[in-house]
């Protein structure tokens, strides 16, 4: 800290000394507004006559004279005790300024535009940004008019000063610490103050929040955003978000102290600290707060842990919009509104009670002056008053049977209604109806892709079962809904779970003959050898149902061609019995056994003949003859003919 020797100045010379840490001696300090020809450090180190010729010399001289009169040997003034050519020294001074004023023996506030005490409150000194901390920090502050005549000290004039600045008198008197006032209240004290440089309005507030941060001239309004980010890290005080303004470029954060002009009476309310404190990421500010949907297009209300001094039973809320109806990212809307929220249960009509707000972890857009694109601007362009649901609408949505209200919204694919219901009530997302169907299952049945996605994103149980043991994936396969099936699979659906009859999703897909759906299931891990309740494999069922394309697909995945099912019947036996020629031929082409027997000792030829499947008998006869010919060449001319003749004679 560089101090000016008052003794030397009185003697007509300049002497500046640098003191560090605990070696700083008692000093007086000056608060003033800058005018033309202020003395700089370079002036003090240069030609003494040139320095004395500048208008600013009078301030330095009077400061030292007052300090000497109070028997103080050193003095500090920002014009010439800081090397403004050094960015490092400027940063140190700005971050230390509050403490320097606080630790001064006395602070002299020079009001150069006040001719008499009658014009005291009209001074521009009360409207400057830097003088806010210079007013609050010193315990002993004396005001002087333009002739350097004393006007009185801060304690004597505290009522006038409080009236002019809106700073409480107990802060001016030092009876109460800054921490007793909320962030919003402290911000409000700077709401009508101005600085020459945009960044200084933020830097001048560092001391009021005991914050240190880099000084970056040229960043403009971002400095105030950075200040609030630091406040958020240091204080769990939701009044930081209780501001009103037309400028929304800071998202959840204000772009200037003027936004807090109406927040002087907003204080923190008692609350249990969230398990996870507020954090900042590239996505925005993450908060755990009471939340409820209140209107269309994802319109919600976040309830802050703060309220007005004269209305302690209500809390302050802010309107936000769920940008994708996913509860993942919100944008604040209606920046000029801070609705009062009754946080207790209240009547919503027809004798029904409104559910309490549910506490949620949400992320609200915030940033270093957000540049919204057109799509985001359109999303945030919501007229809250026109979009808010009426009490009757809320009653209709929230008053019905729980399993019905959510399930019917899911069936209809009404995302907005689903969003509101789940944000406001205590309804479980997987509540089941009388048939055991969850809302997501009902959405799957109706092919409501967006509703299924919404419910999945909100944590719906993907493998929940109805009374028949069927999951949403099985329902999707029954309805040939491949898009929804893929969505459920990506959501972690179990591909191999069996319903009450013992069928997996793959069996249902095979039953429908939907090749892309079958491919999707198998490629994502559906077991092609898993058996149903009758012991059949997917290949057996496809063969029995005559699904030649499905059989070919399963065979390309190396499905076991002779794996027996119920009664030990192989896929070939089932195809022969049902007369599916193309299927039988496919099975034979990959080596299916002709001579295998089922549990009753009957082979594929028997099943074909027994069910009058002539074409398959000829196919099997020819293949069997070829096989026997290869085994016993000498009998090749007689054995196949006899076998075929015996079989065909039975068919006649």
- Here the CATH number for the domain that contains residue 647 is 1.25.40.20
Q: What pLDDT does 341 receive?
A: 85
The 3-state DSSP class for residue 600 equals: coil
> Any bridge partners for residue 314, and if so which?
342
Q: What pLDDT does 645 receive?
A: 54
Q: Is residue 553 part of a domain?
A: no
Query: What DSSP state is assigned to residue 46?
Result: S
Residue 318 phi, psi (nearest 5) = -130, 145
CB atoms within 10 A of CB 121: 14
User: In terms of domains, do 19 and 141 share one?
Assistant: yes
Q: Are 502 and 468 in contact (CB under 8 A)?
A: no
- Distance (Å, rounded) from C-alpha 327 to C-alpha 325? 6
Last residue of a domain, which of 355, 384, 413?
384
User: In terms of domains, do 144 and 8 share one?
Assistant: yes
The 3-state DSSP class for residue 604 equals: helix
User: In terms of domains, do 52 and 170 share one?
Assistant: yes
Quote the tokens at residue 650: 């039975």
User: In terms of domains, do 49 and 166 share one?
Assistant: yes
Quote the tokens at residue 21: 């840490």
User: In terms of domains, do 165 and 272 share one?
Assistant: no
> Which residues are within 8 A (CB) of 144 and not within 5 positions of it... i.e. 6 or more apart?
108, 109, 110, 111, 150, 151
User: In terms of domains, do 13 and 120 share one?
Assistant: yes
Pairing status of strand 299-303 against strand 141-144: unpaired
Q: Is residue 495 part of a domain?
A: no
CA dihedral of residues 217, 75, 179, 257 (deg, nearest 10): -30
Last residue of a domain, which of 135, 152, 176?
176
- Distance (Å, rounded) from C-alpha 382 to C-alpha 250? 18
Q: What pLDDT does 422 receive?
A: 86
Q: Is residue 96 part of a domain?
A: yes
What residue numbers bound the domain in which 163 lies? 2-176
Q: Is residue 588 part of a domain?
A: yes
pLDDT under 70: residue ranges of the chain: 10-12, 47, 271-275, 343-357, 371-385, 391, 394-403, 425-426, 627-652
User: In terms of domains, do 23 and 130 share one?
Assistant: yes
Q: Is residue 315 part of a domain?
A: yes
- Distance (Å, rounded) from C-alpha 551 to C-alpha 518? 11
User: In terms of domains, do 157 and 268 share one?
Assistant: no
Per residue in 153-203, pLDDT tens?
Answer: 999 999 999 999 999 999 999 999 999 999 999 999 999 999 999 999 999
CA dihedral of residues 64, 69, 75, 80 (deg, nearest 10): -10
Quote the tokens at residue 2: 């560089």
Q: Are 570 and 604 in contact (CB under 8 A)?
A: yes
Last residue of a domain, which of 150, 176, 202?
176
Q: Give 46's Cβ-side CA count (13 Å radius).
A: 13
User: In terms of domains, do 154 and 270 share one?
Assistant: no
User: In terms of domains, do 42 and 171 share one?
Assistant: yes
User: In terms of domains, do 273 and 143 share one?
Assistant: no
C-alpha distances out from residue 341 to 125, 187, 347, 417, Å: 39, 23, 14, 22
Q: What pLDDT does 356 receive?
A: 53
Query: What DSSP state is assigned to residue 295?
Result: B
User: In terms of domains, do 261 and 170 share one?
Assistant: no
Report the Cα 486 to chain-centroid distance in Å: 26
Q: Is residue 476 part of a domain?
A: no
Q: Is residue 74 part of a domain?
A: yes
Query: What global pTM score does this model have?
Result: 0.78
- Distance (Å, rounded) from C-alpha 380 to C-alpha 320? 9
**Number of domains the chain contains:** 3
Q: What pLDDT does 174 receive?
A: 92
Q: Is residue 424 part of a domain?
A: no
Q: How many helices (H) and strands (E) does the chain have?
A: 29, 18
């Amino acid at each position: 800290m560089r101090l000016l020797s008052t003794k030397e100045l009185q003697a007509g010379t300049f002497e500046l000394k640098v003191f560090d840490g605990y070696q700083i001696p008692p000093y007086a300090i000056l608060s003033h507004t800058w005018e033309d020809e202020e003395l700089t450090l370079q002036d003090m180190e240069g030609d003494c006559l040139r320095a004395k010729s500048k208008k600013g010399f009078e301030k330095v001289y009077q400061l030292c004279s007052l300090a000497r009169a109070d028997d103080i040997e050193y003095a500090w003034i920002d014009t010439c005790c800081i090397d403004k050519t050094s960015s490092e020294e400027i940063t140190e001074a700005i971050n230390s300024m509050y403490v320097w004023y606080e630790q001064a023996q006395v602070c002299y506030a020079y009001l150069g535009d006040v001719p008499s005490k009658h014009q005291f409150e009209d001074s521009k000194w009360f409207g400057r940004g830097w003088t806010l901390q210079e007013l609050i920090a010193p315990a002993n502050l004396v005001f002087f008019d333009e002739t350097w005549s004393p006007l009185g000290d801060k304690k004597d004039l505290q009522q006038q000063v409080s009236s002019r600045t809106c700073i409480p008198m107990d802060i001016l008197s030092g009876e109460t610490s800054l921490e007793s006032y909320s962030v919003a209240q402290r911000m409000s004290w700077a709401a009508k103050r101005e600085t020459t440089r945009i960044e200084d309005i933020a830097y001048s507030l560092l001391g009021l929040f005991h914050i240190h941060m880099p000084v970056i001239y040229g960043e403009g309004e971002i400095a105030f955003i950075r200040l609030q980010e630091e406040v958020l890290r240091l204080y769990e005080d939701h009044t930081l978000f209780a501001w009103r303004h037309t400028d929304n470029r800071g998202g959840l954060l204000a772009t200037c102290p003027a936004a807090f002009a109406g927040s002087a009476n907003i204080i923190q309310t008692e609350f249990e600290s969230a398990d996870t404190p507020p954090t900042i990421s590239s996505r925005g500010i993450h908060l755990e707060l009471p939340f409820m949907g209140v209107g269309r297009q994802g319109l919600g209300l976040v309830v802050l842990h703060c309220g007005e001094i004269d209305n302690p039973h209500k809390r302050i809320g802010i309107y936000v919009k769920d940008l994708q109806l996913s509860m993942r990212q919100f944008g604040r809307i209606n920046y000029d509104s801070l609705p009062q929220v009754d946080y207790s249960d209240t009547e919503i009509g027809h004798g029904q009670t409104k559910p309490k707000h549910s506490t949620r972890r949400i992320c609200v857009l915030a940033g270093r002056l957000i540049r919204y694109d057109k799509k985001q601007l359109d999303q945030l362009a919501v007229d809250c008053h026109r979009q808010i649901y009426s009490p009757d609408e809320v009653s209709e949505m929230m008053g019905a049977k729980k399993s019905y209200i959510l399930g019917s919204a899911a069936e209809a694919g009404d995302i907005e209604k689903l969003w509101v219901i789940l944000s406001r009530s205590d309804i479980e997302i997987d509540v089941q109806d009388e048939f055991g169907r969850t809302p997501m299952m009902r959405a799957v049945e109706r092919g409501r892709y967006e509703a299924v996605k919404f419910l999945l994103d909100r944590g719906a149980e993907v493998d929940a079962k109805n009374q028949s043991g069927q999951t949403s994936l099985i329902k999707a396969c029954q309805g040939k809904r491949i898009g929804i099936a893929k969505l459920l699979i990506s959501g972690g659906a179990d591909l191999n779970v069996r319903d009450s009859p013992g069928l997996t999703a793959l069996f249902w897909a095979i039953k429908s003959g939907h090749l892309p759906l079958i491919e999707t299931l198998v490629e994502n891990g559906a077991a092609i050898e898993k058996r149903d309740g009758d012991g059949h494999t997917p290949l057996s069922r496809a063969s029995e149902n005559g699904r030649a394309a499905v059989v070919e697909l399963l065979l390309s995945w190396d499905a076991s061609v002779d794996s027996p099912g119920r009664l030990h019947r192989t896929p070939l036996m089932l195809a022969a019995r049902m007369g599916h020629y193309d299927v039988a031929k496919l099975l034979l082409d990959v080596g299916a056994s002709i001579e295998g027997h089922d549990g009753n000792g009957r082979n594929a030829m028997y099943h074909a003949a027994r069910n009058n499947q002539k074409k398959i008998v000829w196919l099997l006869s020819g293949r069997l003859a070829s096989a026997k010919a290869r085994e016993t060449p000498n009998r090749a001319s007689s054995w196949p003919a006899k076998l075929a003749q015996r079989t065909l004679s039975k068919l006649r």
